[in-house]
Chains A and B, each alone.
Chain A
Amino acid sequence: MNHLINQISDIVYSPESIFDKVNKFKTLFDYFNGNYRDFIQNQPTFLSEIRKKLKIEIGFLSPQKKEISLAIYGILLTEDLIEKYSEFHYAEDISTLLDVTNKKNICTEDEFVGLLTSFVHCIKGSTKALDVILENLCLTKIKEKDRDISEMLLIKNNFLPALSEAFLEFEVGEFQVDLRFITAIFSYLIEKKVLTDGPDQNLKSISYYYNVIKSKYPLSEGEDLYYDLIRTQLIVPYYSEIEKYILPKIESLLLQQSLSKIDNQEEIGEITSDDEKSEVHPIIAFVSEIVEEVLNQNQAINSAKKQHIESNIAYLLKKSSTENETFSSPTLSSGALIEIIDIWFILFSLYPQLALHLVNLSDYADYTENPENYLQTNRRKIMQQLNIKFRRYISSDEISIDNIAKAFAKILIEILSNPTTKTIDFQK
């Protein structure tokens, strides 16, 4: 799958837009603000129990804030917002959180809820980011063997944007946070994911990791510190562990790659014999791989995968556009769309379940009985459906390669994430 990625430098972690962040912050803030009062009213037993447990740990908080923080912990538990997060860690982390944002002495209740919102967002976002980063590192390592280079790519293209994103989560709530705390969140997450997968007693609180970093690293602010912080606090201590952790994944990726190469060669060989569209084969090969992964290996379609699909289809379409006249005209006509729809039909003949989504409910039986026959006789119907989808996803009036690629990817993702697609396995 990765032979389609142009260059290793393109494997980057791309953060969410600031607008999304602001919106998400508002939503969660309102949610916490509205629900903690309900929680206090409705769950008195839970609260009194946990209050007893944490009597000393949160003793420094004022009574109202104690209630707020405990209620929000309750919400975190019931909604499962942060996995495996013990109440003792939570209490320690709140204390450190107030320290590192300089809010220990003066902090209104609203600010306190805002701070917790930022904190929760930060952990959630960073957990996702770490997943993407580990995946990216797998891809990078397959292509680039030099440790220094992959280390630097890991820092510059992955951890650096992820850490600045985490920092932004606090800025959105108008808090200034110690950069070492952000780094500590990542140490915590790496320990949780890479070193102690599963329930483990060794996992410490974020506060603990913060104090470790603080004892070793003297500075706390300035964007120029990212490189040094990431290198000394995340890469040096954890790189070999991370490498060990992703090794099986890299091996399975390499195996997949070599298997799919053989598969594709066979499939492509068949197509060339009855169809002369040799210039679109890379797309079919690529989509086949994705379909295989999702349908037969049950891989989920996450945001990284979506991105991967979109960028690769755009790249492949552009590449074929130089060879193919239909695409090379500066203003793409609907002729190009027909070309693309042909590609879809080849895909349907390879994976009949993909078209299931486009077939009328009343025709299901016909289709499942003999998909090939149905596709031939009802080509127009399916084409119409596809056309409608393309028109819907091509948002602007002008049809360009980029637009088509995006629409193509969106349709593919829509079909693959539709549960009906997985219901029938035509190969059996």
Chain B
Amino acid sequence: MTDSKSKYNILILNIDASDEHLPFRMIFNCVEGEEVTDLRDGKEQDISEYFEDEYLQLEAVKFANYDKNNERLELFFYQFISNHDSVSLLNFFSSNYSDFCINKTKEDLNFICKSVCGLFKRLEDQKYERIISKNDQLEIFNENLSKLCKYYQWQLFEEQNLRRSDEIDDPTPMISQVIFLDCTLRKDNRNLIQLDFNEVSFVYPEVLNHPTYKGIIIPYNCLEQIQRCFMSSNLFSNVKLANSSFFDDLISVPDTAYLTSPETSDKIKIVFDYHFYGEDSLLISAYFIDSRIYDSSLLDSRELPQIRRNISSYLETDSDLENVIVNSAFRNWYKVLRVRTEDIEKDHCLDRIIEDKKVDNL
């Protein structure tokens, strides 16, 4: 199924420069090969939110899609983020294939990002020296961008060179923690499906209580990271606007997310699973694979598929989380179950939550 209606490839470019007319923003629909303005939904798409966190940056997310009967569809969305100097870029595309290689695609986007950055620097310089006018600048910029996008589009959908390659992961990243989220689905005023996080459960190994990791693994941040992996409602509404009937009742949720720390180039991968209960509630399991944490007591990420299968099959029959965890590979880990999301505060560390919970229970 390569229905052109369901084929998207959107590049959003953000250039920050000191010039008065900037930041320069541009949405480019590669499929049409044109700059698309009607995707803007009244206000401009700002992607700076993706670069706010200086410790961990969301690099790429693969989204899975479910229809209204909670059946998983053979359709995937990919979201990539790249930045170089003053240029940041967000790419969103859809595909029926689930095997796009994150590293290779990133490489191509980095090339686009860098190229745009160099080009922009040169044009700014020439504009400043009054060699070219602002209109010239825009024209040259558009011409180059459409060439770059055409190439990227070709790579993705025609050459398909970015698929089927092995991902290069860190040597032995470990499963560092599991977070279960109880959610409800609702439709917002734009008729988009939104997820509300109600309760959160943390399952984590003893080593995370160690002072070295206490500063790194903060429940509030972990929750925020998960939230950030979900499609920004702005982006989603833009994509939906282009073809609303197709996206109606489509539940788009992250399947795998890749984060990196720009400072230490550590990699964090979050793998998600979904269990729907009835029409409007679901349980999300998020498995963190983290290269920052090394300990012999941790589980190797290569065991993850097996573990996920086990937990999934248990969740089918038993909705009690505690039972499920006891029967899984995580039975010896610490558990903090069903904390209301609003109760988690910024400075809470994991054992603090336990203490709070104990007090509550008393």
Q: Which of B15-23, B119-127, B320-328 contacts A (4 or more CB under 8 A)?
A: B119-127
Interface pair A10/B161, CB less than 8 Å apart: yes
Interface pair A228/B154, CB less than 8 Å apart: no
Asked if A151 is at the interface of the complex by the 8 Å CB criterion, the answer is yes
Q: Which of A147-169 contact B (CB under 8 A)?
A: 148-149, 151-153, 156
* Interface size in chain B (residues, C-beta < 8 A): 23
Q: Which of A7, A10, A222, A231 contacts B121 (CB 8 A)?
A: A222
Interface pair B148/A224, CB less than 8 Å apart: no
Q: Least Cβ distance of B92 to chain A in Å?
A: 21
Asked if A142 is at the interface of the complex by the 8 Å CB criterion, the answer is no
Beyond A10-B161, A224-B84, is A219–B151 a contact (Cβ under 8 Å)? no
Interface pair B118/A224, CB less than 8 Å apart: yes
Q: Least Cβ distance of B165 to chain A in Å?
A: 11
Interface pair A223/B161, CB less than 8 Å apart: no
Q: Which of B125, B144, B150 contacts A218 (CB 8 A)?
A: B125
Closest to A153 in B: B151
Residues from chain A with a CB closer than 8 A to the CB of B148 are 152
Residues 108-135 of B, flagged 1 when their CB comes within 8 A of A and 0 if not, give 0001001101110110011001000000
Residues from chain A with a CB closer than 8 A to the CB of B125 are 218-219
Interface pair B161/A224, CB less than 8 Å apart: no
Q: How far is the CA of A218 from the CA of B151 in the complex (A)?
A: 27
Q: Which of B147-179 contact A (CB under 8 A)?
A: 147-148, 150-151, 154-155, 159-161
Q: Least Cβ distance of B127 to chain A in Å?
A: 11
Residues from chain A with a CB closer than 8 A to the CB of B54 are none
Q: Which of A8, A151, A226, A227 contacts B159 (CB 8 A)?
A: A8
Closest to B121 in A: A219
Interface pair B118/A149, CB less than 8 Å apart: no
Beyond A8-B159, A9-B155, A148-B151, is A227–B122 a contact (Cβ under 8 Å)? no
Interface pair B147/A217, CB less than 8 Å apart: no
Of A148, A224, A231, the most chain B CB neighbours within 10 A belong to A224
Asked if A255 is at the interface of the complex by the 8 Å CB criterion, the answer is no
Closest to A226 in B: B118
Q: Which of A7, A152, A219 contacts B161 (CB 8 A)?
A: A7
Residues from chain A with a CB closer than 8 A to the CB of B119 are 227-228
Interface pair B126/A227, CB less than 8 Å apart: no
Q: Which of B115, B154, B155 contacts A224 (CB 8 A)?
A: B115
Interface pair B159/A9, CB less than 8 Å apart: yes
Q: How far is the CA of A223 from the CA of B115 in the complex (A)?
A: 9
Closest to A150 in B: B151
Q: How far is the CA of A148 from the CA of B161 in the complex (A)?
A: 17
Q: How large is the interface on A (under 10, 10 to 19, 20 to 34, 35 or more residues)?
A: 20 to 34
Q: How far is the CA of A153 from the CA of B121 in the complex (A)?
A: 23
Interface pair B155/A228, CB less than 8 Å apart: no
Q: Which of A7, A148, A153, A222 contacts B118 (CB 8 A)?
A: A222
Residues from chain A with a CB closer than 8 A to the CB of B155 are 9
Closest to B161 in A: A9
Residues from chain B with a CB closer than 8 A to the CB of A222 are 118, 121
Asked if A4 is at the interface of the complex by the 8 Å CB criterion, the answer is no
Residues from chain B with a CB closer than 8 A to the CB of A61 are none
Asked if A225 is at the interface of the complex by the 8 Å CB criterion, the answer is yes
Interface pair A231/B159, CB less than 8 Å apart: no
Residues from chain B with a CB closer than 8 A to the CB of A146 are 154
Q: How far is the CA of A82 from the CA of B150 in the complex (A)?
A: 39
Q: Least Cβ distance of A339 to chain B in Å?
A: 26
Residues from chain A with a CB closer than 8 A to the CB of B161 are 7, 9-10
Q: How far is the CA of A227 from the CA of B119 in the complex (A)?
A: 8
Residues from chain A with a CB closer than 8 A to the CB of B84 are 224
Q: How far is the CA of A8 from the CA of B121 in the complex (A)?
A: 31
Secondary structure at chain B's binding surface: helix, strand, loop or mixed? helix
Q: Which of B85, B147, B160 contacts A148 (CB 8 A)?
A: B147
Beyond A223-B114, A224-B114, A228-B115, is A156–B122 a contact (Cβ under 8 Å)? no
Residues 1-31 of A, flagged 1 when their CB comes within 8 A of B and 0 if not, give 0000001111000000000000000000000
Q: Least Cβ distance of A382 to chain B in Å?
A: 38
Residues 375-395 of A, flagged 1 when their CB comes within 8 A of B and 0 if not, give 000000000000000000000
Q: Least Cβ distance of A230 to chain B in Å?
A: 10
Interface pair A224/B117, CB less than 8 Å apart: yes
Q: Which of B118, B150, B154, B160 contacts A227 (CB 8 A)?
A: B118
Q: Least Cβ distance of A343 to chain B in Å?
A: 27
Interface pair A156/B151, CB less than 8 Å apart: yes
Residues from chain B with a CB closer than 8 A to the CB of A149 are 150-151, 154
Q: Which of B111, B144, B154 contacts A231 (CB 8 A)?
A: B144
Interface pair A151/B147, CB less than 8 Å apart: yes
Residues from chain A with a CB closer than 8 A to the CB of B154 are 146, 149
Q: Which of A132-154 contact B (CB under 8 A)?
A: 146, 148-149, 151-153
Interface pair B151/A152, CB less than 8 Å apart: yes
Q: How far is the CA of A225 from the CA of B121 in the complex (A)?
A: 8
Q: How far is the CA of A223 from the CA of B111 in the complex (A)?
A: 10
Q: Which of A197-237 contact B (CB under 8 A)?
A: 217-219, 222-229, 231
Q: Least Cβ distance of A157 to chain B in Å?
A: 10
Q: How far is the CA of A227 from the CA of B114 in the complex (A)?
A: 8
Residues from chain B with a CB closer than 8 A to the CB of A151 are 147
Q: How far is the CA of A183 from the CA of B47 in the complex (A)?
A: 35
Q: How far is the CA of A277 from the CA of B315 in the complex (A)?
A: 51
Q: How far is the CA of A412 from the CA of B85 in the complex (A)?
A: 48
Interface pair A218/B129, CB less than 8 Å apart: yes
Closest to A9 in B: B161
Closest to B152 in A: A152
Interface pair A228/B122, CB less than 8 Å apart: yes
Q: Which of A323-358 contact B (CB under 8 A)?
A: none
Residues 254-284 of B, flagged 1 when their CB comes within 8 A of A and 0 if not, give 0000000000000000000000000000000
Q: How far is the CA of A379 from the CA of B358 in the complex (A)?
A: 82
Q: How far is the CA of A100 from the CA of B153 in the complex (A)?
A: 38
Residues from chain B with a CB closer than 8 A to the CB of A229 are 118
Q: How far is the CA of A340 from the CA of B47 in the complex (A)?
A: 55
Interface pair B122/A225, CB less than 8 Å apart: yes
Closest to B155 in A: A9
Closest to B119 in A: A228
Q: Which of A148, A156, A218 contacts B126 (CB 8 A)?
A: A218
Interface pair A228/B118, CB less than 8 Å apart: yes
Residues from chain B with a CB closer than 8 A to the CB of A227 are 111, 114-115, 118-119
Give 23 pairs: A residue, B residue, CB < 8 Å, sorted on A. A7-B159, A7-B160, A7-B161, A148-B147, A148-B151, A149-B150, A149-B154, A153-B151, A156-B111, A156-B151, A218-B122, A219-B118, A219-B125, A224-B115, A225-B118, A225-B121, A226-B118, A227-B114, A227-B115, A227-B118, A228-B122, A228-B144, A231-B144
Extra 11 A-B pairs, beta carbons < 8 Å, given A148-B151, A227-B118: A148-B150, A149-B151, A149-B154, A152-B148, A156-B151, A217-B122, A218-B129, A219-B122, A223-B114, A224-B121, A227-B114
Question: Which residues of A are in contact with B by a Cβ distance under 8 Å?
Answer: 7-10, 146, 148-149, 151-153, 156, 217-219, 222-229, 231
Question: Which residues of B are in contact with A by a Cβ distance under 8 Å?
Answer: 84-85, 111, 114-115, 117-119, 121-122, 125-126, 129, 144, 147-148, 150-151, 154-155, 159-161
Q: Which 8 A-B pairs have the closest CB atoms?
A: A227-B115, A224-B118, A152-B151, A9-B161, A225-B118, A224-B114, A224-B117, A228-B119
